[in-house]
Chain A
Amino acid sequence: MTRTFDIPIGPLHVALEEPMYFKVGVEGETITALDLYAGHVHRGIEYLTAKRNIYQNMVLLEHVCSLCSNSHPETFAMTLEAIAGIEVPPRAHYLRMIADEIKRTASHMFNVAILAHIIGFDSLFMHVMQAREIMQDVKETIFGNRMDIAANIIGGVRYDLDATSIAFLLNQLDQLEPVLRDEIIPIYATNRSVLSRTKGIGHISRADCVDYGLMGPTARGSGLAYDVRQVAPYSAYGEIEFEAQSLPDGDVWSRAMVRLKEALSSIAILRECVRRLPPGPISAGPLPRIPAGEAIAKTEAPRGELVYYVTTDGTDVPARVRCRVPSYMNWEALKVMMKGGHVSDIPLIVNSIDPCVSCTER
């Protein structure tokens, strides 16, 4: 007897941190159809940006998404700096990268922890979250906040690192790195519980990644080594050597491993940034009048390429702010990944694209 029925995953579901509705058609335990419904938390942020001045927008855009909360205002500031020709001082570039990488490490570890939670491996979930707490402490100590760190201003950054905070940062990195490198990564790479649930699940080919325009670790897990930090270096990423992480298999496990390795490489980048941190001012100082114009900027948010397009009309209120978030394209790939999958793998596959509903529904 074959019986097909729809199961509603969401809008509220244990495995989803944010509301998204998946109408999954199943036949027994096999997925036959998938429909996505979004819009439950749409806040009209792009519209609101046209009602606020650029300073207020920096605050507003920080609230697009808590996990990429550094990338949004940073990219927005980069567009304005391009329009007005503001020269960001070198020290500010490095401080921006430091803020970026701290957020990236914490974000990737969060996603990988949730993976463990979804497969019911709560001990591993707790372990990764406790390790992530080391990075959370860094954010709280240096920036004064655990998620929205408000590091960026137009023309630079708002925070500076002195000898004490650098020592603290390095000390925290020394604590986190061995845990990540010697404990967490080997567990994900070898533990049978993890492997049997994630290997070969939610497969997407490199060609499909290109077709769907996938971004970030989701694409890099399929061997598409596209990392904005490398293909179009911003801030001072061009001066630092690091490798774009990618794995060829295109399954849930590969995407998780890419994130873990990126977290590890972020730690190396952080050390390098601190070592090279040039002296000088941390911002461009008083802003010039922002002229009419348009600009585009892109950065590598934890979830992939984040693009901002801004038009200004000579006032301090931008005429149009448009952002293209990585999660938007990644959602569509779920239809490919879930084809023929099991019901038990739905939350796992959804989590593997590290979906950000608040980015999608800004």
Chain B
Amino acid sequence: MIGEFFRILFAVLVFPGGLFAIALGLLLKGVERRLVARLQRRIGAPLLQPFYDLVKLMGKITFVPDLADTNVFLMTPLIGVASMSLAMAMLPIAGVYAPSPMLGDLLVLFYVISLPALSLMLAGSASGSPFGAIGFSREMALMLAYEGPILLVIVSVALHVGAASGRGPMFSLAEIVQYQIRHGPLILDWRMVPAALAYAAFIPANLGMPPFDIAEAETELLEGPLLEYTGASLGLLKLASAIKTVAIAGLGVALFFPNGPGGVLGVVAFAAKCLVIVGCLSVLKAAVGRMRIDQAVVFYLRWPVLFGVLSLAMVAIHV
């Protein structure tokens, strides 16, 4: 029992959560910045710039605005980082890491990964800034739009894996990964392709990247909920967003293509898959402008929902 506790603690703080996720997340951010810069014919910041930024921010004073609710204002960045480290600890990496069953299944993970968005909303409303408030309402509208499709994706995968192994819906992520290692990745299953597409559409919205960087829109809302944050608090928010990049990419990998070698090579393979996802996001970022919130909501209620339902229906019929 005590051993299990320390195992979970290690998973949250060191690997795959905590230190590992921070390092990988910041590196991915650096790659993204550099790649986007190259696509725009710029040189771009050094690959390690996010690390430098973080170190600098951590050494600075956090300024709490007069209108802000101090406790909530300072607490929300911590919630973001903590929930994301926990989410990382719940993500299996094929051949390398299997999460403790005590941490809960896919449905719990689904709620944990929505925590940073919630904390961002809280941050926006607690900051006392009208930009934060608008960012809050946009983040909420966007979340309501993309949470539905992602739930459809999760249920499709659970039903598919459950049916294939002759049981009910399988919400254990470790089992889903095990199934794919035995029967090949789900992305190669044509019934799961629409679900994978729906998940792909969910990634940029959840990470607040173009064309869905609506809640933080720099030229409209001056970063929205992040506007009033400074110093270490801002650093923590950036940190949460870096870990989130790994977690959201990692969940996609676990759901659809976890296969890879064991040991250190497995970690490298995982990082490489995340890198491919971030590379695609960077190309998207360089290729499109920002959507308006109403356009984004309509987009999510149309295509990802359609794809999610399609996968679900195909899985259900084959049952």
Contacts and interface: CB of A to CB of B under 8 A. Distances in A.
Contacts of A120: 210-211, 213, 217-219, 289-290
B220 interface: yes
A119 B40 contact: no
Contact of B133 (A5, A118, A121, A342): A5
Contacts of B14: none
A4 to B, nearest CB: 11
A29 B134 contact: yes
Interface string A8-21: 10000111000000
Interface in B30-57: 36, 39-42
A194 B295 CA distance: 13
Contact of A124 (B133, B289, B293, B295): B289
A130 interface: yes
B137 interface: yes
Given A5-B133, A13-B222, A28-B137, A194 B217 contact: no
B286 A119 contact: no
A347 interface: yes
B158 interface: no
A123 B137 contact: no
Contacts, number: 80
Place the interface of chain B in its size category. 20 to 34
Interface string B262-298: 0000000000000000000000001111111111000
A165 interface: no
A123 B40 contact: yes
Contact of A6 (B40, B41, B130): B130
Nearest to A126: B40
Instruction: Give chain A's interface secondary structure class.
Output: helix
A267 B18 CA distance: 57
A116 interface: yes
B289 A121 contact: yes
Contacts of B217: 120, 344
Given A29-B134, A343-B134, A123 B220 contact: no
Interface string B200-230: 0000000000110110011111100000000
A346 B214 CA distance: 14
Nearest to A12: B222
Contacts of A344: 214, 217, 220, 292-293
A193 interface: yes
B73 interface: no
A332 B290 CA distance: 27
Nearest to B141: A29
Nearest to B214: A344
Given A7-B131, A29-B137, A123-B40, 13 more contacts: A15-B220, A29-B138, A118-B219, A118-B220, A119-B219, A120-B218, A121-B289, A123-B39, A193-B289, A197-B289, A343-B220, A343-B221, A346-B220
15 contacts: A5-B133, A7-B130, A8-B130, A28-B137, A29-B294, A116-B289, A120-B211, A121-B288, A122-B36, A124-B289, A127-B40, A193-B211, A344-B214, A345-B292, A347-B220
Interface of B: 36, 39-42, 130-131, 133-134, 137-138, 210-211, 213-214, 217-222, 286-295
Interface of A: 5-8, 13-15, 26, 28-29, 116-124, 126-127, 130, 193-194, 196-197, 342-347
